[in-house]
Amino acid sequence: MSGRNVFYAQSGGVTSVINASAWGLIQGCRARPDTFGKVYAGREGILGALDENLIDTSLFSDDTLEGLVWTPGGAFGSCRYKLKGLEQNRTEYERLIEVFDAHEIGYFFYNGGNDSMDTAHKVSLLASELGYPLTCIGIPKTIDNDLAATDNCPGFGSVAKYIATSTAEAGFDIASMCGSSTKVFVMEVMGRHAGWIAAAAGLASEQASQPPHIILFPELTFDADDFLNEVDRCVDEYGYCVVVASEGIAYEDGSFVAETGTKDAFGHAQLGGVAPALAHMVGERTGHKYHYAIADYLQRSARHISAKTDLDQAIAVGEAAAHYAAQGMQAVMPAIIRGEGDTYTWTIEPADLADVANHEKFMPRDFITENGYGITDAARDYLAPLIEGECFPPFKRGMPEYLRLDLSRCIEKKLAPRGQ
Amino acid sequence: MSGRNVFYAQSGGVTSVINASAWGLIQGCRARPDTFGKVYAGREGILGALDENLIDTSLFSDDTLEGLVWTPGGAFGSCRYKLKGLEQNRTEYERLIEVFDAHEIGYFFYNGGNDSMDTAHKVSLLASELGYPLTCIGIPKTIDNDLAATDNCPGFGSVAKYIATSTAEAGFDIASMCGSSTKVFVMEVMGRHAGWIAAAAGLASEQASQPPHIILFPELTFDADDFLNEVDRCVDEYGYCVVVASEGIAYEDGSFVAETGTKDAFGHAQLGGVAPALAHMVGERTGHKYHYAIADYLQRSARHISAKTDLDQAIAVGEAAAHYAAQGMQAVMPAIIRGEGDTYTWTIEPADLADVANHEKFMPRDFITENGYGITDAARDYLAPLIEGECFPPFKRGMPEYLRLDLSRCIEKKLAPRGQ
């Protein structure tokens, strides 16, 4: 006897290991056929539910789906689409329930960040109000590492490893040639409000003379004069200066150093170009030759340098989500809990979605050095285990062999298009 | 009995495998103690000779120096410093010979690109004219892959692998979300005059629908209207468009799409920002949401994703250089020769520096598709073997374990400072 069907959706910016969570969940469901029926994945995330574009993952064998473990991006498609509040747009939530009902879906797994945990929570409230039997479980995912209630977020460790490695490598390059060439290098990294990714660059150095010499965190106010003085000091003392800057750094008046004036679908200001802004500032004030890099999507899709710890945790939260649902839990998210003691250990425990939704976890002030430009030993102790371990994808003819799922066939629709 | 001493210098932009060539050379010299005395490396390349800053590599054990095989950047320092013509600045060449004489140097190995091969050639001419016994050997190195007389250049294969991998990975990311988010992604890559690096991105795709959809080569004139039409076509047909652009693309009048107005030490126009230039163009004309990445130094220092073929060849040209010098050859460079047949094979043969110096090897037109935006099967056949194989560095606590040589102690100077 088979249980009720499952709906799984990937949400928001994708990561190099979000598919590993999908694999963990699907395996967790396949292992419990009495509880779970078919696992449908939303084509383009929650939009797949609203538009009734459901991918039947039972069409794919275990052997095929194992490729999810080493494939970056969102294999079923993700989206930037935030459901409004229940009062403002009750119709949309009702549409979700209508689609779930039409396809005998009794389990909703939402794989995303703050906004998604909020949505999963609201869907559980509405389903309960309507008397529709629906288990709602969040699965954490965000490179920003800013979710509450979990020690860290799947997706972050791999970006951290990429950024720390890239900073170290570029640092060797610049150190080689600073006598006659580039003296200041600025690397822009993601992180709108929380400086976790920028902080990870700090793992590249073991002493003050080693890059990165300056890290700019969005948690602190950017002071151009103080920054330029510090650049000068580093060039004087070390011969060069490597700067790692969060895209979200802002002046005292709240304006971003790299504001473009446009907003994304979530109403957040769209950023870009903090590296050129800083680099030109340096060039004008100090005359030093500069270069800058903007890793952009490269950093969050770099599965070739993902951290094994991150991958293991991404799979584990997917598996735990299936386990929690099978146990009858409601409106929870598998959270990563760090063990006590000097050796890093972790376990997975359920956290209430209500405690996770719409909170942002910033870098604690004691993770940032007094002058505001580096990370402390406390930050190192926190960050270092998260980038541990290598888990290279398989390679073929020199290229990573990533999985391309054929998503052209969604299951047959049973409802009229939404809004009709 | 020990032979005359050796001077080795790294020149110009560094790569992820230039140190592997140093390792090959040093091992080649250590294996022939009757021919070679001490191997001195120039601190900051040729400037190390002019300023008599010589690093005695015999102070480092084989075990230590083996780290050169997996460490990016220039371990002894490199520089952007071009010696002028013999007529224009004979003093500088004479100073070189003076320093070589003071330290009983009978072998000059210059590890660089076009300019360096030219310099090595000129030094050999002057030494011969002055009756100073000096063997001059070039060792090829350039990510630009633009050296004549060699099938490919050490340093290029690893950048090619990084760019192809990054393009594939970012492509998965954008494909996941293009329905509701970024539709056009532009990645800027190095390559001022030759489009080899941009071409390598083409290895990420197996069919037209897969990224990159558009590659922009510096060998062809950039036509903004045609480009924007092609972007639109790709977005219509595939839902998104990934563009890989060489920094050196230019309009019909010769002006660079991303000219900054400044020049480097070699008198070449300094470029930067072709990605934002193109991305803004796309945004204004089509209204599509865009993102862009500038890998900059990350691409040429990414030792963590170097190609094994490239690494093997980098070591081999270093070893061959020692072999050629021991054989009494003069003014040659070890060139990589591709074997006939379907299976990729390569050997190393000497090429005259005079035939290499100051030539640039561009992409043949038949390597570029007719519409100018892709690579042909001929290009794939040429490029694919160069990115083959993985050679990850050792990792420790999640980070590549790179070698940091202590360069603080140069050997005792015997001459007055240059210019005095």
DSSP string, B257-277: TTEEEEE-TTSPEEE--HHHH
* CB nearest A398 (choices: B273, B302, B387): B387
pLDDT band at A278 (very low <50, low <70, confident <90, very high): very high
Interface test with A, best of B115, B210, B304 (most A CBs within 10 A): B304
- Whether residue B365 is contained in a domain is answered as no
Residue at A393: amino acid letter: P
Q: What is the DSSP letter of A304?
A: G
Q: Which residue of chain B is at minimal alpha-carbon distance from A344? A: B397
pTM of this structure: 0.96
Of A253-267, B89-103, B270-284, where does mean pLDDT reach its minimum?
Answer: A253-267
Checking if the pLDDT of A192 tops 70, the result is: yes
Within 197-216 of A, beta carbons closer than 8 Å to B belong to: 203-204
Phi, psi of A106 (to 5 degrees): -115, 0
CA distance A274 to A285: 17
Asked if A295 and A325 sit in the same domain, the reply is no
Q: Please tell me whether residues B221 and B309 are part of one structural domain.
A: no
Put simply, the answer to whether A384 touches B397 (Cβ < 8 Å) is yes
Contact between chains at B72 and A400 (C-beta distance less than 8 A): no
Residues A316 and A278 in one domain: no
pLDDT band at residue B272 under the 50/70/90 scheme: low
Chain B residues whose CB is inside 8 A of the A276 CB are: 273, 276
Alpha-carbon span A157 to A344, nearest angstrom: 14
**pLDDT for the residue B280:** 87
Model confidence at B267: pLDDT above 70: no
Q: Residue A14's domain is classified under what CATH number? A: 3.40.50.450
Are A120 and A248 in the same domain? no
pLDDT tens-digit map of B117-175? 999 999 999 999 999 999 999 999 999 999 999 999 999 999 999 999 999 999 999 99
B247-261 pLDDT per residue, tens: 999 999 998 998 655
Which pair of structure tokens corresponds to residue A177?
């040639």
Q: What is the pLDDT of residues B192-220, one digit of tens each?
A: 899 999 999 999 999 999 999 999 999 99
Measure the CA–CA gap between B324 and B367, rounded to whole angstroms: 33
Rounded to whole angstroms, how far apart are CA atoms A272 and B181? 15
pLDDT of B304-350, one tens digit each? 999 999 999 999 999 999 999 999 999 999 999 999 999 999 999 99
The alpha carbon of residue B34 is apart from the nearest alpha carbon of chain A, in Å, by 32
Q: Mark yes or no for CB contact A75/B176 under 8 Å.
A: yes
Q: B390 to chain A nearest CA, in Å?
A: 7
Q: If you average pLDDT over residues B297-303, what whole number do you get? A: 98
Query: Is the N-terminal amide bond of B385 cis, ω within 30° of 0?
Result: no
Residues 6+ apart with CB under 8 A from A298: A162, B166, B169, B170, B187, B293, B295, B298
How high is the pLDDT of residue A420?
Answer: 73
Cβ contact (<8 Å) for A170 and B75?
no
- Judgement on whether residues B231 and B379 belong to the same structural domain of the protein: yes
List the Cα angle A112/A115/A121 in 5-degree steps: 90
Question: Which region among A230-239, B218-227, B278-287 has the lowest average model confidence (pLDDT)?
Answer: B278-287
Written as six digits, the tokens of A140 are 């954490």
Lookup result for tokens 């950048």: B159
Per-residue model confidence as pLDDT tens digits over B53-63: 999 999 999 99
The pLDDT, as a whole number, for residue A1 is 47
Residue B211 resides in a domain:
yes
Residue A83 pLDDT: 87
Average pLDDT of the residues in A163-190: 97
Residues A235 and A284 in one domain: yes
The reply to whether B320 and B295 lie within a common domain is no
In angstroms, the first-to-last Cα distance of chain B is 36
A203, A267: one domain? yes
Q: Per the domain annotation, does B148 fall within a domain?
A: no
Check CB contact of A75 with chain B, cutoff 8 Å: yes
Catalytic pick among B51, B115, B118, B144: B144
> Quick check: A264 pLDDT over 60?
no
Instruction: With cut-offs at 50, 70 and 90, classify the pLDDT of residue B86.
Output: confident
User: For residue A51, is it within any domain?
Assistant: yes
Residues B18 and B108 in one domain: yes
Which one has a higher pLDDT value, A93 or A269? A93
Alpha-carbon span B156 to B335, nearest angstrom: 14
Residues 287-326 of B with CB under 8 A from A: 291-298, 300-305, 307, 309
Question: Are A46 and A80 contained in the same domain?
Answer: yes
Check pLDDT > 90 for residue B223: yes
Q: Which of A51, A118, A144, A146 is catalytic?
A: A144
Which domain does B273 fall in, by range?
156-300+372-387
Q: Distance (Å) from the C-alpha of residue A74 to the closest C-alpha of chain B?
A: 5
The verdict on residue B61 lying in a domain is yes
Q: Is the pLDDT of residue B410 over 90?
A: no
The residue-averaged pLDDT of B383-394 equals 98
| Confidence check: pLDDT of B89 > 90 | no
Number of C-beta neighbours around residue B142 at 10 A: 28
Least confident of A252-266, A286-300, B123-137, B401-415: A252-266
A172 and A250 housed in the same domain: yes
Which residue of A181, A266, A310 is the best one to mutate when testing the B interface, meaning the one whose CB has the most B CBs within 10 A?
A181
Is pLDDT above 80 for A358?
no
d(CA A248, CA B413): 50
pLDDT for position A259: 67
Domains: count for chain A? 2
A36: alpha, beta or left? (left if phi > 0; alpha if psi -120 to 50):
beta
Distance CA B358, CA B296 (A): 24
**How do residues A317-331 score in pLDDT, each as one tens digit?**
999 999 999 999 999
**Rounded percentage of chain B residues whose pLDDT exceeds 70:** 96
pLDDT greater than 50 at residue B1: no
Q: What is the CATH number for B382?
A: 3.40.50.460
- B136 within 8 A of B123, measured Cβ to Cβ: yes
Same domain, A234 and A380: yes
Residue at B162 is within a domain: yes
- Residue B415 domain flag: no
In a domain, B151, yes or no: no
Nearest Cα of chain A lies from the Cα of B169 at a distance, in angstroms, of 5
Give the confidence band of B357 by pLDDT, cuts at 50, 70, 90.
Answer: confident
**Where is pLDDT greater, at B269 or B334?**
B334
Please name the amino acid found at residue B178: C
pLDDT, chain B, mean: 94
Task: Determine whether A144 is an active site residue.
Answer: yes
Judged by a CB distance cut-off of 8 A, whether residue B159 touches chain A is no
- Give the gap in angstroms from C-alpha B171 to the nearest C-alpha of chain A: 8
Q: What's the whole-number average pLDDT of chain A? A: 94
